Structure 1
Amino acid sequence: MGIATVTLNRPAKRNALDIATIEELVDIFAALPHEGIRAAILRAEGPHFCAGLDLVEHHREERSAADFMRVCMRWHEAFNKMEYGGVPVIAALKGAVVGGGLELASAAHIRVAGPDCYFGLPEGQRGLFTGGGATIRVADLIGKARMIDMMLTGRLYAGDEAVSVGLCQYLVEDPETKARELAERAAQNPALSNFAICSAISHMQNMSALDAAYAEAVVAGVVNTQDAARERLAAFAGGTAAKVRPDS
């Protein structure tokens, strides 16, 4: 069905993101749309999803301000390719999803958390500031005030509270199984529809209301007249399409 699995594999480091991992993420998410991939699952080895920036590497490198700005731009490149690439990315989250790990997770289109999952932005306590898009994506998910609170005080979110504030959409016992179920469901949609859903909406959020309305009309004109849409509309008109209704 064309579902890719992308795995963070530095469990001894709680999957902290060093620059080599970021460069791999850039390459992977740049390639997925061109390889017939219909959906992707982002998961991690070990008990934690991602503890954020590899602070040991950062300390060892003694980067200048310009050096670290360039590192941040590579993070943005990786996460933008996830969010705007047009392939649905479902993140299966567990354990720590903190700092840059939360920035990574927030670039996914759907976030599925396990019961041991917790979210944090501890940058303030470490004398740091977010550099991988939290001010854009995390603030968009939970609001400016909650994000500032997390950074100033080290507040963590978990469980139902994390769902209620928007950090994740699902809270389940087995996030990887649920992520695969969602990926398989999304992969059944026409690729052009998924491309629009997973790129155009984010672009429109960056526009004025007037420009977004125009862009939405253009995208709808293209997507809603594709051959796959015509086939599905014919099934609907003929009474053979699946009904939209809650599960019994």
Structure 2
Amino acid sequence: MPAVANAGFVTYELRGPVAHIGLNRPEKRNAISDAFVEAIAEVVARAESEARAAVIYGHGGHFCAGLDLAEHVTKSAIEGVRGSRRWHEVFSKIEFGAIPFVSALHGAVVGGGLELAASTHIRVADRTAFFALPEGQRGIFVGGGGSVRVARLLGTARMMDMMLTGRVLSAEEGERCSLVQYLVEPGTAREKAHELAEIAASNAEISNYAIIHALPRIQDMSKEDGLLVESFVSAITATSPEAEKRLRDFLEKRVARLRAPDQT
């Protein structure tokens, strides 16, 4: 299926089981406006209806430079609250949706762009990527879920440093700080993201759903509550017909065993 434009802000393409969602405002470094958020919401819903996994990437030289400040500066306080809550709602549809999302990051991954990336389940950065949270220097605060999602990835102390001082992290620093799970050469992030999305798309749907929904919530629970929920989720997934087939395929040697990374 060829790429199609959606309200001028995003492109959408289906590659087998994987949907590709492209942020398409390169002249603004893909800065996010309210209309942009609505376009993202629309294609995320479409991806869930016809794909098994999705990739989010940016057209042009950057993934996303964050909030469209020209729009934000004219908002009243209540408009700002409503806008922030809408970002939360849309980004939560990515984080707690029906399919895995992989983000392919390059260039600026700043402010709201980092908040968007943090809502995806796997993040791949090429070596041109850099990460920043310049809200402190702009006289504002994160509003797209960063105080929860980004802080959990970075830790509160590192996030506070970035917001207070304007510190910019390189791609290599981003990997060391757990902002991204994969670091690749320039221009290859989308290809790697697609490869990972295809693998995730081949999993049992019930397993993917459990990983996406249960794992983050267990982290919010006490140790004993988390272990109890783990037992129930483990039992439910293991009793699905697909799980039985996959386990039998493994036991009867119809699928290859895992090997160490340096083995062929």
Q: What TM bracket, shorter-length normalisation?
A: over 0.9
Match of 2:30 in 1: 15
Match of 2:8 in 1: none
Matching of residue 107 in structure 1 with residue 119 in structure 2 = yes
What displacement does 1:21 show?
1.0
Match of 2:223 in 1: 209
What displacement does 1:79 show?
0.8
C-alpha RMSD of matched pairs (Å) = 1.2
Q: CA–CA distance in 2 between the matches of 1:26 and 1:205?
A: 26
Match of 1:160 among 145, 162, 172: 172
The normalised TM-score by structure 2 is: 0.89
Is the partner of 1:101 in helix, strand or coil?
A: helix
Letter in 2 for 1:23: E
Letter in 1 for 2:121: H
Q: CA–CA distance in 1 between the matches of 2:226 and 2:35?
A: 36
> What are the ranges of 5 or more consecutive residues in structure 2 without an aligned counterpart?
1-15
CA shift digits 1:30-52 (9 cap, x unpaired): 3433x142110001110000011
Q: CA–CA distance in 1 between the matches of 2:47 and 2:214?
A: 17
Structure with greater contact order relative to length (CA < 8 Å, sep ≥ 6): 1
Match of 1:195 among 209, 214, 231: 209
Is the partner of 2:30 in helix, strand or coil?
A: coil
The normalised TM-score by structure 1 is: 0.95
What displacement does 1:14 show?
0.4
Match of 1:90 among 98, 102, 105: 102
Is the partner of 1:113 in helix, strand or coil?
A: strand
Match of 2:148 in 1: 136
Matching of residue 182 in structure 1 with residue 196 in structure 2 = yes
Deviates more, 1:200-209 or 1:91-100: 200-209
2:31 touches 2:67 (CA, 8 Å); kept in 1?
A: yes
Match of 1:150 among 162, 169, 177: 162
Letter in 1 for 2:236: V
Deviates more, 1:87-96 or 1:198-207: 198-207
2:17 touches 2:198 (CA, 8 Å); kept in 1?
A: no
Q: CA–CA distance in 2 between the matches of 1:141 and 1:50?
A: 18
What displacement does 1:204 show?
1.9
Q: CA–CA distance in 1 between the matches of 2:50 and 2:41?
A: 17
Aligned length: 245
Is the partner of 2:208 in helix, strand or coil?
A: helix
1:4 touches 1:37 (CA, 8 Å); kept in 2?
A: yes
Match of 2:238 in 1: 224
Q: CA–CA distance in 2 between the matches of 1:245 and 1:113?
A: 25
Matching of residue 30 in structure 1 with residue 84 in structure 2 = no
Q: CA–CA distance in 2 between the matches of 1:218 and 1:81?
A: 24
Letter in 2 for 1:225: T
Q: CA–CA distance in 1 between the matches of 2:42 and 2:82?
A: 17
Match of 2:92 in 1: 80
Q: Report sequence identity in percent.
A: 48
Matching of residue 55 in structure 1 with residue 69 in structure 2 = yes
What displacement does 1:240 show?
2.2
Question: Structure 1's 86 and 209: CA in aligned 2 closer, same or farther, altered over 3 A?
Answer: farther
Question: Structure 1's 162 and 135: CA in aligned 2 closer, same or farther, altered over 3 A?
Answer: same
What displacement does 1:91 show?
0.3
Q: CA–CA distance in 2 between the matches of 1:105 and 1:10?
A: 16
Q: CA–CA distance in 2 between the matches of 1:140 and 1:178?
A: 24
> What are the ranges of 5 or more consecutive residues in structure 1 without an aligned counterpart?
none
Letter in 2 for 1:168: V
